[in-house]
Amino acid sequence: MTIHPNSIEARDKAYHLHSYTNARALERDGALVIERGEGIHVYDNAGKQYIEGMAGLWSVGVGFGESRLVEAAAKQMAKLPYYHTFTARTHSPSVELAEKLIEIAPVPMSKAYFTNSGSEANDTAMKIVWYRSNALGKPDKKKIISRTKGYHGVTIASASLTGLPNNHRSFDLPIARVLHTSCPHYRAFKTEGETEAQFVERCAKDLEDLILKQGPDTVAAFIGEPVMGAGGVIVPPAGYWEAIQKVLKKYDVLFIADEVICGFGRTGEMFGATTYALQPDMMTLSKQISSSYQPISALLINENVYQPLADESAKIGTFGHGVTAAGHPVAAAVALENIRIIEERDLVGNVRSLSPKFLARLKSIADHPLVIEYRGVGLIGAFELVPREGFAAGQLGPKLFGYLMEEGVISRAIGDSIAFCPPMIITDEQVDDMFDKVERGLEKFAKELTA
């Protein structure tokens, strides 16, 4: 296709460096231009409609084009378009949002700290862990354990927590004091003859062995997503979180729950922590907090974390951390209205009611000879393709992704897994429509492979 030199596609190629993109391939092929969104659908600049099966980036919970969020932004923009929260300043939207988050948190929390992205929230969590250890007179207790295939962001610190190779390659990551333990994907990592219960026991032992090898006095915190998102929608096996938390408590290791993808309804509860009976000391929140209509994230900390931090700030004279747009009044106002919509329309209940159908359709796809497994909970799920001779690991997923795009479904290829995370407003009929299109795309892909 010929691209006009003044088109948005040509100008994008000329001036724009994209995230998670092969830059040379972009120079050759260009980008898909999304022009507008409505409900669960988005439309490209040629007018083609797509079901946004990933809710953007796991994030547009209330759907596209929600007028209440537009109005909340415009109203706050007219009243106070910006102010900061440095040096004991504040404003109503940030206070109201902090209060709301503490109120709805699944376990007792003390304070909310605002940032602009999940990466920044996890980066801040790391800094606070180190700050707290110094406050407690434990300068060696600084190591943080994450998991292989975990995803926690892309700043230097949070990308180090992330356990995916392409977030480390050529970036000289991970940094020191960040460690990784086992991924809880039973099918992928079980040994021959190992039961699920034995696998869980081994994961917990791997964590305990790592803590003991490093020295419990050097390990400060553990971070984990209730359900691993960007690692391929990896749902923990039964008993996994109970076993992991037992180890953390035994060695006085703080637990950071990364709720950036799971939070605000995705698993069928307001937080993944409720779904899996987690008792975190800190929680990071983003994405569906504002349905990504505005960039905002939050870190919640409990009293066990806050009190030493407050003491240290008094000793030093300040808590020397902050970003310009932290608790931005427009973003906070939009997040508040977004949470109201989730509650008033019982979108968490919608997730629970539609989850059986959503998972049943995934299970049906898993019966296809090209598919090895499906995984999911609530309205987040994935299916994984069977390795195939002639294709390197990670090549099949992107090829199938292209077929799904042709059918009008935007999913996400994570290696050879295809992930789905539709807006929480999706209906029964729209779930069927999405998976009908997915099945048609899968059949076309199968014909290509057998031709």
- Residue 123: give its domain's CATH number: 3.40.640.10
Spatial CB neighbours of 321, under 8 Å, sequence gap ≥ 6 = 124, 127
Strand, helix or coil for residue 328 = coil
Q: How far apart are CA 232 and CA 419, in angstroms?
A: 7
Burial class (CB in 10 A: 0-12, 13-18, 19+), 193: exposed
Q: What is the CATH number of the domain that holds 393?
A: 3.90.1150.10
Write down the pLDDT at residue 2: 60
HSE toward the beta carbon, residue 444, CA cutoff 13 A: 15
HSE toward the beta carbon, residue 160, CA cutoff 13 A: 16
Domain identity same for 104 and 247: yes
Domain identity same for 77 and 222: yes
Cβ atoms of residues 135 and 313 within 8 Å: no
Domain identity same for 148 and 275: yes
Q: Is residue 394 part of a domain?
A: yes
CA 180 to mean position of chain CA atoms: 18
* Amino acid making up residue 212: L
The domain boundary residue, chosen from 344, 365, 390: 344
Domain identity same for 105 and 49: no
Write down the pLDDT at residue 5: 78
CA 186 to mean position of chain CA atoms: 21
Write down the pLDDT at residue 1: 52
Q: Is residue 174 part of a domain?
A: yes
- Which one, of 35, 39, 36, 33, lies nearest residue 64 by Cα? 39
The whole domain housing 430 covers 32-62+346-450
Instruction: Count structural domains, the chain.
Output: 2
Spatial CB neighbours of 161, under 8 Å, sequence gap ≥ 6 = 122, 126, 144, 146, 150, 152, 153, 174, 178, 223
- Which one, of 141, 151, 111, lies nearest residue 253 by Cα? 141
Write down the pLDDT at residue 451: 74
Q: Is residue 184 part of a domain?
A: yes
Domain identity same for 299 and 398: no
Q: Is residue 18 part of a domain?
A: no
Q: Is residue 4 part of a domain?
A: no
**In angstroms, what CA-CA distances link 189 with 186, 194, 198, 362, 418?**
5, 10, 12, 22, 19
Cβ atoms of residues 61 and 338 within 8 Å: yes
> Residues for the chain: how many in total?
451
- Which one, of 396, 410, 408, 329, lies nearest residue 368 by Cα? 396
Write down the pLDDT at residue 408: 98
Q: Is residue 292 part of a domain?
A: yes
Domain identity same for 83 and 204: yes
Domain identity same for 129 and 240: yes
Q: How far apart are CA 55 and CA 378, in angstroms?
A: 14
The domain boundary residue, chosen from 310, 344, 378: 344
The residues with which 51 forms a beta bridge, in sequence order, are 41, 409
21 φ, ψ (degrees, to nearest 5): -140, 140
Tokens linked to 314:
């008094």
Q: How far apart are CA 448 and CA 451, in angstroms?
A: 5
Domain identity same for 270 and 339: yes
CA 20 to mean position of chain CA atoms: 15
**Distance spanning both ends of the chain, measured CA to CA:** 26
Domain identity same for 247 and 377: no
**Residue 188 parent element (H or E):** helix 186-189
Domain identity same for 211 and 324: yes
Domain identity same for 241 and 327: yes
Q: Is residue 417 part of a domain?
A: yes
Q: Is residue 7 part of a domain?
A: no
* Amino acid making up residue 8: I
Domain identity same for 109 and 252: yes
Cβ atoms of residues 385 and 419 within 8 Å: no
**Rounded mean pLDDT for each run of 10 residues along the chain, 451 residues in total:** 80 96 95 98 97 98 98 98 97 98 98 98 98 98 98 98 97 97 98 98 98 98 98 98 98 98 98 98 98 98 98 98 97 98 98 98 97 98 96 95 98 98 98 98 95 74
Q: How far apart are CA 129 and CA 125, in angstroms?
A: 6
* Amino acid making up residue 295: P
The domain boundary residue, chosen from 306, 325, 344: 344
Cβ atoms of residues 181 and 143 within 8 Å: no
The residues with which 282 forms a beta bridge, in sequence order, are 256, 301
- Name the packing angle between helices 329-344 and 67-79 (round to 10°): 150
